[in-house]
Amino acid sequence: MEDTVHKVPVLVVGGGPVGLLTAWQLARNGIHCMLVERNFTTTRSPKMDITNCRSMELLRYMGLADKLIAQEAVAQDISFDVIISTGLGEKGEKLATWDLPSPNEWRSTIKQKNDGSMPREPYQRCSQAIFEAWLKRCIDDHPYIESCFGLKFESLQERDDEVISKLVDATTGQHHTVMSKYVVGCDGAGSSVRRSIEVKLTGVPV
């Protein structure tokens, strides 16, 4: 069976938040790209809980902040207070409370102290499972992005004017060849892209 051949300016490997946002930003700048992810869906595990102020500033720059707040984030008037206790039952004793204002309260503080010392955006609460699924819907609707979940990156070969990447369909075993100008490795600490170009991991895996 012959390989299925794709030709795109940029191949993005990894469908987590970094890969999804990379594909989105490329498309916003008029660059066609192909995003591949070995898993069939975005994460379903509880991971990220808070999208911090700087991340929200970047999402604002990317034209995504208002969509996230309106569609997926926890309601803007709910505080983010953290209660530290010995347990959740009736016998649990509260040890401490970490008072964290709601996004609306944060937003009001930012307006009142407009002296350059505050962030542009308040943080938001949104589980990574919800965040990734929402981002995937955003890129699936973009005509400049070819989103291919269930397609596993295996290796790449650099040439003078292009990069040849080999991938395999996780369901059918069909092999794919992608010819691109660039490959962006967004596939985590155990990156197959990093290993393919023989770049060592700095530090230790987490």
Compute the distance between CA of residue 62 and CA of residue 28 in angstroms, rounded to an integer: 8
Q: How would residue 90 be classed by pLDDT, with cut points 50, 70 and 90?
A: confident
Tokens coding 16? 């987590």
- pLDDT tens-digit readout, 105-158: 999 999 999 899 999 999 999 999 999 999 999 999 999 999 999 999 999 999
- The dihedral over CA atoms of 177, 20, 169, 150, expressed in degrees to the nearest 10, equals 180
pLDDT at 1: 66
In the predicted structure, residue 89 carries a pLDDT above the cut 90:
no
pTM of the entire predicted model: 0.90
Which residue is listed with tokens 């649990």? 92
Tokens coding 111? 């307006």
Compute the distance between CA of residue 121 and CA of residue 53 in angstroms, rounded to an integer: 6
For the chain, the residue count is 206
Please state at what angle helix 17-28 crosses helix 128-140, rounded to 10 degrees.
30
* Domain span(s) for CATH 3.50.50.60 in the chain: 4-45+144-197
- pLDDT tens-digit readout, 152-204: 999 999 999 999 999 999 999 999 999 999 999 999 888 999 999 988 888 77
Compute the distance between CA of residue 194 and CA of residue 184 in angstroms, rounded to an integer: 10
- What is the CATH code of the structural domain delimited by 4-45+144-197? 3.50.50.60
pLDDT at 189: 84
Distances (CA, A) of 205 to 44, 134, 188, 190: 22, 28, 10, 8
- pLDDT tens-digit readout, 15-74: 999 999 999 999 999 999 999 999 999 999 888 889 999 999 999 999 999 999 999 999
Compute the distance between CA of residue 115 and CA of residue 86 in angstroms, rounded to an integer: 41
pLDDT at 205: 66
